[in-house]
Structure 1
């Protein structure tokens, strides 16, 4: 990041140039010279900011789905949101998580590699306590999980595979499968220590307990879909979805039935005449015989039409559309 000068430093610099203590041409020459920046190859950045934003969008959707899933399963208040998305060496990720934690290893067919989900002990034990009928409080466990507890965790996160599949479906169709369950991060030697991984951190609240769920995505998983993580792809994808939705809506509208009325004419009579109607009486309408009829849709005049007969049924033939008529004019 470029150094920002304070106002005093700017004033001192201008004073030095004005007094001749500093040559402006020399400053310009220094700026034109090639500057060297230190680059750490152990922390090589392999994803652009644009791609990181796309990964963040995927997991914001995943966080919402996971919130709904956990709230349904636990019958408790749950809130999960994306806190940060960073790219770091795998070794740094492993060092940053507790020595005793919950690790789920997901296969991501047809993509290569495995996705690692780390559930902080605070959240993991609160989730376990709630599953076993408790209030969802954090408990302290010195030993390893029992076989029953492991089975409960695995069943819960196997059911959560659908949320992961749906969240990633905007980019690629995957079939996540929970392959391994581990408590010690040191046994997770699936990725080279210096391999770049994307770590998505989710702040998780279960009841009154707060903790983190970290999702570690190796470069090998993301490599085949990197072109789909661009803004251009997302815009094009959304555009295609809009066109599909528009086409579907158009087809549904074409099947919608509407009520048409052809107004043959109208008149006004007295109650006395109405009460004395007899068979054979003629009622004179205000519609001239050579004038077109009004064709209305839900009582809104839309077309001029002329009466006739088609296939032995009374019919009307549309002559022209009535323009400039809307509900506000009625």
Structure 2
């Protein structure tokens, strides 16, 4: 941070300079002590340090999920971790990647625009070789993908995108979709060259083969959710459970769940031999139950309401008359034979 001089310090400095007591070397030392920050207007910083840190945390989780899924898919030891998260122009990103590589254009629905997942050729051909039954060694191949190889790498990227959705779930319900795969960076112009992007570099190792995966996201794509890219938002307990939107989603999900309702007239214990001998038309006398007594309506195995039997059209029905929570513990135990605390 630039140091600001007080008015007294400024006056003393002007007095010394006017008197000629300060040599050129001393003036140079004073100048050298100033903390000057160079600002390039062609390359403005649009992401704060907190936002970059949040993106890094999100993709740490993405790297862990990808490590697990690729290890299972390739049946070999895979290690993926975040090497760096930087902001730069799209032109700088394009210039930093090989002239022939695998560039997957990713639709970032519901966000506007696209992102790019670039996979180093060494990693790409190692994964393809393993899925074809080979050892997956580093063969130094540098060529375009064949149709069959492209189909294989598409299946790998689709699995990776599932991990991306899970990693972003704390910020947005992202539904990334694979568009197409390019091998020439010049054909992957998703934003103007001077547009700022955030670049997540993932160091990837498959057995002895090492390489990079780069995930490039334009600022224009992240702009609608830029305020959510903060630690305060990600770890807020208010956001997670008590917003009206989340409660409505929870209610909607619960409203379609089927639950078992049963109206219980009464209960009694019988020996197994008596139960086996019961025939249609037999009458079972229930102890402590009178004709006018209410029935108990259970939800699942919990007694919740008093009700009385009746008919609706040609169907047998019950009418809820009272909540059991509104009665005393003694009345509850007398009706159900259960402790109200259970």
Is the pair's TM-score, using the shorter chain for normalization, greater than 0.5? yes
Find the aligned partners of 2:201 and 2:167 in 1 and give their Cα distance: 16
Partner of 1:208: 208
In structure 2, what is the Cα distance between the partners aligned to 1:174 and 1:105? 15
> Structure 1's 200 and 143: CA in aligned 2 closer, same or farther, altered over 3 A?
closer
Alignment check: 8 A CA contact 2:100 2:142 kept:
no
Alignment of 1:98-177 (within 5 A): 98-177=98-177
Partner in structure 1 of residue 43 of structure 2 = 43
CA shift for structure 1 position 62: 0.5
Change (3 A) 1:239 1:78: farther
Distance 1:185 1:312, change over 3 A: closer
TM-superposed deviation, 1:181: 0.3
Does the Cα contact within 8 Å between 1:202 and 1:212 map onto a contact in 2? yes
Q: 1:233 to 1:311 in 2, by over 3 A?
A: closer
SS in structure 2 of the partner of residue 43 of structure 1? coil
| Structure 1 runs not aligned, ≥5 long | 3-19, 245-309, 319-330
What is the TM-score when the length of structure 1 is the normalising length?
0.63
Q: Is the 8 A contact 2:100 2:143 kept in 1?
A: no
Give the structure 2 partner of residue 321 of structure 1.
Answer: none
> Given that residues 101 and 144 in structure 2 are in contact (C-alpha distance below 8 angstroms), is that contact kept between their aligned partners in structure 1?
no
Which secondary structure does the structure 1 equivalent of 2:235 belong to?
Answer: helix
Aligned to 2:75: 75
Distance 2:335 2:226 in 1: 66
Aligned mates of 2:36, 2:77 — CA distance in 1 = 52
Aligned to 1:87: 87
Distance 2:105 2:336 in 1: 72
Match of 1:217 in 2: 217
Question: RMSD of the alignment, in Å?
Answer: 3.5
User: C-alpha offsets along residues 290-330 of structure 1, whole Å, 9 cap, x if unaligned?
Assistant: xxxxxxxxxxxxxxxxxxxx7499999x9xxxxxxxxxxxx
Asked if the contact 1:100–1:183 (Cα under 8 Å) also holds between the matched residues in 2, the reply is yes
- Kept in 1, the 8 Å contact 2:122–2:141? The answer is no
Deviation at 1:95, TM superposition (A): 0.4
Contact 1:129 1:138 (8 Å CA) reproduced: no
> How many residues were matched structurally?
235
- SS of 1:178's partner is strand
Q: State whether residues 71 and 77 of structure 1, in contact with CA within 8 Å, keep that contact through their aligned partners in structure 2.
A: yes
